[in-house]
Amino acid sequence: MGSFVLYGPVTLRGKVEISGAKNAALPILASIPLIKGTTVLHNVPRLEDVHTMIQILRSIGVKVEWKGENTLLAINEGRCTGDVPYELVRKMRASFNILGPLTLSVGKASVAQPGGCAIGLRPVNFHIDGLEKLGFSVSISHGTVHATAPGHVDEGEVVVSFPRVSVGATEHIMTTAAGMKGLTLQINNAAQEPEIEDLQNFLNGCGARITGAGTSSLTVEGVEELQGCEYTIMYDRIEAGTYLIAAAATHGEVEVVNACSNHLGALLEVFEYMGVNFTCNENGITVKAGDVYKPVKIEVNPYPGFPTDLQPQILAMLSTVKGVSLVKENVFKSRFGHVPELNRMGASIVVEDSVAVVEGVEELTGAPVEATDLRAAAALLIAALMAKGETIISHIEHIFRGYEKVIEKFRGLGVNIVYEPRDVE
Ligand code: EPZ
């Protein structure tokens, strides 16, 4: 695994363009086995996770090729096979969402049961319960989930009420039901993330009949067949939030082009409270950071709450805000792998019962640290920009899973990042 080597402190200045959303592209790609014919997707980010999903689609018989920098062509001739290679699924849990669409289109399918990761156990029980409610039979053996589609679809309504909000389970079940003619699915306690609206808009572009995405109550009226369409993926609100936090944390001045303020309300509310100056317009959001920030209490919750995917990054920023800040993580209770690493850089953060208590310190100092997951890598990069001296972030490959052209983009903001493909001793 490689490393980033950089020297701080750095004040970010300039303009950065946000890419297409990873967490919108992945569920859309996972639906392709149900989408017959040719699909053209624009604004697809070139990320490790997207490459993994492309490999999975190719492995089951879908023709996928890049047409230009961020345009993807997927051709499903209706001859998919039902076995997804373990070594691909284990690389990325979002690939599990291919199970429902693939099973419905082929009759039977098997996908590896996703493992846990640095941010939590990541169970898929809601996905399996939802598929069974749709009439699928599901069994698990030797770490593989086997599913068989219902022989025929009983006309009528099925209700799935998730015990807690789940982005992936909402996307998985709504996508599968979209191709089940005669069935009407009502999802209660659905996730409300903007990426789910993007998925609804794509599927409806292919002939699906879905309403309610973006609210907690989703309705899907299954149709006979879904045909490929041309669609442009939304911009990545988490990438945008990461650059906004980096700009504020380094007291810089940065225009984040394509940042959509409608999708970043919770972060902008925190910025407002802390005294971060920012302006929003139709092109994006510009941060003209202030000097002194107020400490803050943040509750991390499902959308429209403060996003868990920005929790590590805001924690890095809070580490030098004078006073005591609190961040309560309500989505992934143990998503604090970045805390010991931030403390190695001089932060003073204690975690108790999923609450991070941050005592602001005078300054951070550079140190060798290790990235445990994608957003932790982003948090350590922000901390390295704030810190005095050299920081080496090892296991940095995590960051390439979710941040397109991250080296070029930060270099464009005045950061001299050196990428060592092998771990620096
Ligand atoms: C999606 O993961 C995102 N990934 C995550 O982004 C994001 O952190 C998460 O939603 C929450 O917003 C993609 O969209 C590809 P969940 P997902 O199901 O769907 C529990 C990133 O950095 N749960 O909403 O896996 C689960 O353990 C990634 O881009 C069950 O108990 O998250 C968690 O505590 C990280 N059983 C909570 O629900 C289930 O069957 C929310 O998880 C499913 C989930």
pLDDT per residue over 386-400, tens digit each?
999 999 999 999 999
Please check the confidence at residue 424 and state whether its pLDDT lies above 80.
no
**Among 23, 119, 308, 336, which residue has the most ligand 1 atoms within 8 Å of its CB, making it the best to mutate?**
23
Please work out whether the CB of residue 123 comes within 6 Å of at least one atom of ligand 1: yes
**Among 167, 372, 374, which residue has the most ligand 1 atoms within 8 Å of its CB, making it the best to mutate?**
167
Q: Give the sheet arrangement for strand 3-8, strand by strand.
A: 368-370, 389-394, 3-8, 418-420
Query: In the structure, what pLDDT confidence band is assigned to residue 425 with cuts at 50, 70 and 90?
Result: low
Distance (Å, whole) CA 349 – CA 356: 6
Please check the confidence at residue 115 and state whether its pLDDT lies above 90.
no
Backbone angles phi and psi of 350, in degrees to 5: -120, 140
Section 82-95 average pLDDT = 87
Residue having the nearest C-alpha atom to atom 5 of ligand 1: 309
Name the pTM for this structure: 0.98
Model confidence over 310-337: pLDDT tens digits? 999 999 999 999 999 999 999 999 999 9
Residue having the nearest C-alpha atom to atom 42 of ligand 1: 166
Please work out whether the CB of residue 402 comes within 6 Å of at least one atom of ligand 1: yes
Section 51-71 average pLDDT = 96
Please check the confidence at residue 338 and state whether its pLDDT lies above 90.
yes
pLDDT more than 90, % of the chain:
90
Model confidence over 137-169: pLDDT tens digits? 999 999 999 999 998 888 899 999 999 999 999
Section 7-21 average pLDDT = 98
Section 23-46 average pLDDT = 98
Q: 231 CA to middle of ligand 1, Å? A: 24
What confidence score (pLDDT) does residue 138 get? 97
**DSSP 8-state code for residue 401:** G
Outline where DSSP puts E strands in 142-224. Answer: 144-148, 156-161, 183-188, 209-211, 217-221
Atom of ligand 1 lying closest to residue 120 CA? 27
Distance (Å, whole) CA 60 – CA 79: 8
Q: Give the sheet arrangement for strand 355-359, strand by strand.
A: 297-300, 324-329, 355-359, 349-352
Which residues are part of the catalytic machinery?
117
What confidence score (pLDDT) does residue 118 get? 80
Paired strand residues for 221: 184, 209
**Among 161, 331, 375, which residue has the most ligand 1 atoms within 8 Å of its CB, making it the best to mutate?**
331
Please work out whether the CB of residue 124 comes within 6 Å of at least one atom of ligand 1: yes
Tokens read off for 89: 């699924």
Q: 166 CA to middle of ligand 1, Å? A: 6
What confidence score (pLDDT) does residue 423 get? 63
Q: Which of 110-119, 182-191, 270-279 has the lowest mean pLDDT?
A: 110-119
Distance (Å, whole) CA 358 – CA 378: 18
Helices (H), 189-264: 194-205, 237-249
β-pairing verdict for 284-288 and 253-257: antiparallel
Q: 7 CA to middle of ligand 1, Å? A: 34
Q: 122 CA to middle of ligand 1, Å? A: 7
Section 203-207 average pLDDT = 98
Model confidence over 231-262: pLDDT tens digits? 999 999 999 999 999 999 999 999 999 999 99
